[in-house]
Structure 1
Amino acid sequence: MAITTRLRNDAQSYGWMMIGIHWLMAIAIIGLYALGLYIVDLTYYDPEYKTMPNLHRSIGILVLIALALRLAWKIGDRTPRPLASHGPLVRLATGAAHGLLYLLMLVTLVAGYLISTADGRPIEVFDWFQVPASPLQYDGQEDIAGWVHYWSATALIALAGLHALAALKHHFLDKDATLKRMFGITKETT
């Protein structure tokens, strides 16, 4: 076994760009979900009432940027070949699950942006830069976007959990290289 040192994907496994962004986004999204659940219980008098939502928004914007980068990289890079052990049904389910994960990430992040800019103010991202408010404001924006944000984030976390369980199933039960490829572990070629 060898650890890949390539930036880009090849036919056998993922390169470090996709591996790194996959795991960073996974950690950030799980953390954002937990932080979001914590935030909804804060009251005006809690010391973290202003800081935690700002942290949540800032990380959310960075994840949105990472998602755009990830999609652009995915378009410009090859996808490793499916494993021989994966039949057409597994490939179809995998493609559908990945597509739905991307869609739920996008919906969740855009809804979060719409909640945060419903009052017409920009989002301040860690005092590094501002993201302007949406020029399209509508009645009930914060409530509607809040509902969409919560349910799409919950669906995203549930699907990500199934995604992780499927990867573990492939690793421990099927004993194939699915999980190893997302850690950059490949067979040594001699």
Structure 2
Amino acid sequence: MQITNTVNSYGWVSIALHWLVALTVFSLFGLGLYMVDLSYYDPLYRTLPDWHRSAGLILGAVVVGRLLWRWWSPVPRAHGAHSRLERISARLAHTLFYLLIFTMIASGYLISTAKGQGVSIFGWIELPSLTGRVDGQEDVAGLIHYWCAWVLVALAGLHAAGALKHHFLDKDDTLLRMMRPKQER
């Protein structure tokens, strides 16, 4: 069982982290869209935002772990058939993914702590407010959070479209490399 990445293939840890982050990002996006329309009297009015915050902060820890994993087990080299533009675009997209995710987490934290209260992660641990009470912080952080969410999901859509293009049009193994490790010979 190939745990780490090789020169030509992603290992199971990288593959699992990729899909875990993708699933969590899309789930949080859907949850965020759903919960903004909840009324004060809805039974989920308090529960869903708590889940959203908690999952978002845990996602931050997972993404830090993913970055550490990338440092310890570097990504495979680019596919030989990819053009220079495709390789640069892929690097840029991955950098933007990380920047957007961390901006989302920071802005979500600032929304949640705008009144000076801490943020609970599923009741296990509470992160204190680092800014205290700041007037207007929730509104500015909310706009940043909102627009970064849409850009992140749009970028993920482009990323998926690129993977599908490689799979169906170019007929290379770009998509398959993130589905299962390649057996090295």
1:135 Cα deviation from its structure 2 partner? 3.2
SS for the counterpart of 2:98 is: helix
User: Once the 2 structures are TM-superposed, how far is the Cα of residue 94 of structure 1 from its aligned partner?
Assistant: 0.9
Q: CA deviation at 1:122?
A: 1.4
Q: Render the CA deviation track for 1:36-73: whole Å, top value 9, x for unaligned.
A: 01111111111110001001011001101111111111
In the alignment, the residues of structure 1 paired with residue 83 and residue 183 of structure 2 have an alpha-carbon distance, to the nearest angstrom, of: 21
User: Which residue of 34, 42, 53 corresponds with 1:57?
Assistant: 53
- Gapped regions of structure 2 (runs ≥ 5): none
In the alignment, residue 42 of structure 2 is paired with which amino acid?
D
Aligned match of 2:134? 138
Letter of the 1:107 counterpart: T
TM-score (norm 1): 0.93
Paired amino acid for 2:53: R
- Counterpart CA distance in 2 for 1:131 and 1:183 is 35
Q: Which runs of 5+ in 1 are unaligned?
A: none
**Structure 1 match to 2:106:** 110
Counterparts of 1:47 and 1:137 in 2: how far apart (Å)?
28
Query: For each residue in 1:99-129, what CA deviation from the matched residue of structure 2 results, as whole angstroms up to 9, or x when unmatched?
Result: 1111111111110111011111111111221
Aligned length: 185
Q: Would you say 1:154 and 2:150 are equivalent positions?
A: yes
* Superposed displacement of residue 188, structure 1: 5.5
- Whether 1:47 and 2:43 are equivalent positions in the alignment is yes
Structure 1 counterpart of 2:9, from 5, 10, 13? 13
- Using CA pairs below 8 Å that are at least 6 residues apart, which structure has the higher relative contact order? 1
- After TM superposition, the runs of 4+ consecutive aligned structure 1 residues lying more than 4 A away are none
Contact 2:120 2:126 in 1 (8 A): yes
Aligned to 2:123: 127
- 1:72 aligned to 2:68? yes
Number of the residue aligned with 1:24: 20
Q: Which residue of 2 aligns with 1:100?
A: 96
TM-score (norm 2): 0.95
